[in-house]
Structure 1
Amino acid sequence: MVIWSAFLLGLLGSTHCLGMCAPLVLAFGKSNNQNGIFSNLLYNLGRLLTYTSMGLVVGWIGKAVLFAEWQPYVAVLMGLLMVLIGIFSINLDTWVAKLSLMRYLFAQVQKGIGAVLKQKTQLFSFLFLGVLNGFLPCGLVYMGLMGAVAAGDSTQGALYMLFFGLGTFPLMMTAFFLGNRLSQQWRKRLRQIYPFAFVGLGLWLMYIGYQSYLNILANPTSIEDCH
């Protein structure tokens, strides 16, 4: 699994984040104007910590339950799902929200975020805010975790989700600096990129999976050594 696909997933998929996370970024930016940039960096660092931790766990699970020869199939499956999501403009968050467990998780995380937002004088509370935000049910994050499962091991899984989080940085920082100047109309235009980005990245992941499959056929002994 190519790590840079995680960065592209985060970068191209972050147009989706404008609808969910940008309002929160603007809200706490206003609540701490003197240290706005630092608080925003702490918030994003918190998200990275959560994403990386989740990648570490699911990468370990992937290594435990998947043999190396299954990883190309997971990559192709993930790519196919992304293509379908893009073509049919499927809203992943709508599907996730239908699950009672996800609704419960969302409610609990929201309570935590509300408590942190009340602590306006504590700058490092924004780090914890980012950590909590990383646990919000999000279809885009779950797509990234699928890639982390197929990454090969816990280290690669953590790196995959780290690069995924870094991919979301540019647009989230842009939203912070532009503030209200980033109109709803522009946010809508950026979100229109989302389906095309998913189709393109999905096709690329399918290609990566196919190439990995060819490599396994060409080097079967390397797979046997992993068992």
Structure 2
Amino acid sequence: MLYSALLLGLLGSFHCIGMCGPIAFLLPVDRKKPTKRVLQLISYHVGRILTYAVLGLLVGSVGKSLNLFGFQQQLSIVIGVFMILMILIPTKLFNRYHFSKPIYKFVASIKNAMGTELKKKNPGTFFTMGYLNGLLPCGLVYMAVFGALASGDIWEGGLYMIIFGMGTVPLMTTAIYIGNFLTTKSRQHILKVIPGLVVIIGFLFILRGLGLEIPYLSPSEMVAVEEVSSQYSCH
């Protein structure tokens, strides 16, 4: 399922330009020294991907705990259903019940920290800005986190989030170099594709959890567990 992380990163980066683009445009990159500018951007992306990796390790550890109790396939189905519901349920419903109020406070604190860091303009600014940027709430990051949780493994969860982060690098870097190069109409067309992609990935997670003995897509993990346990019981 690691390919789904790359797809989320690549297509999700169009969403990232709209959400995180203004922050990236404010980065004090050195426009006169290409080599220094590249190093600054690498530092920014490393900070961002490190945040994603930490999130992946954390949720991957939770997924591993559930896997040890034999819930990995059920977890995959639940996450797939949740991904689809997140797309189908209108955003207005969440705002009506004020679920987002704590998030707004968190975002405000992160933006304040980023504003303070921008004023420093020291070599560590780019890494810190990237690290803080990775903490900002984002629907696509949430989807990737669900994917890392469904991996059922600490390291695979971390790897899932790293691949997701790397998928966002090309477009974010292009935006920093040449600014907002997409027209409003073209971005709208691309953003319409993203919900469909999330629904497809949600169905893939459900398919994976069903254990239909389809190689790579829906392996019969429950059968494998039963075979291992029967071997031990025979001894």
Residue identity opposite 2:82 in structure 1? L
Residues in 2 aligned to 1:143 and 1:221: alpha-carbon distance in whole angstroms: 33
Report Cα offsets for 1:144-192 as digits up to 9, x if no partner.
2222222222212111111111121222123223313333333333222
| Residue 75 of structure 2 is aligned to residue 74 of structure 1 | yes
2:60, 2:157 within 8 Å by CA — same for their partners in 1? yes
| Residue 50 of structure 2 is aligned to residue 49 of structure 1 | yes
Which segment drifts farther, 209-218 or 147-156?
209-218
Unaligned 5+ runs, structure 2 = 212-217
Residues in 2 aligned to 1:194 and 1:142: alpha-carbon distance in whole angstroms: 14
Residues in 2 aligned to 1:91 and 1:133: alpha-carbon distance in whole angstroms: 25
1:6, 1:144 within 8 Å by CA — same for their partners in 2? yes
% same residue: 35
Distance change in 2, residues 1:54/1:37 (3 Å): same
> Normalising by structure 1, what TM-score?
0.82
Pairs within 5 Å for 1:31-110: 32-34=30-32, 35-67=36-68, 69-87=70-88, 98-110=99-111
Residues in 2 aligned to 1:25 and 1:143: alpha-carbon distance in whole angstroms: 22
Match 1:217 to one of 213, 220, 223: 223
Higher relative contact order (CA 8 A, sep 6+): 1
Residues in 1 aligned to 2:113 and 2:13: alpha-carbon distance in whole angstroms: 23
Distance change in 2, residues 1:144/1:94 (3 Å): farther
> Normalising by structure 2, what TM-score?
0.80
1:15, 1:194 within 8 Å by CA — same for their partners in 2? no
Q: CA RMSD in A?
A: 2.9
Unaligned 5+ runs, structure 1 = none
Larger Rg: 2
- The number of aligned residues is 222
Name 1:151's counterpart in structure 2.
151
Residues in 2 aligned to 1:123 and 1:91: alpha-carbon distance in whole angstroms: 41
Residues in 2 aligned to 1:51 and 1:66: alpha-carbon distance in whole angstroms: 22
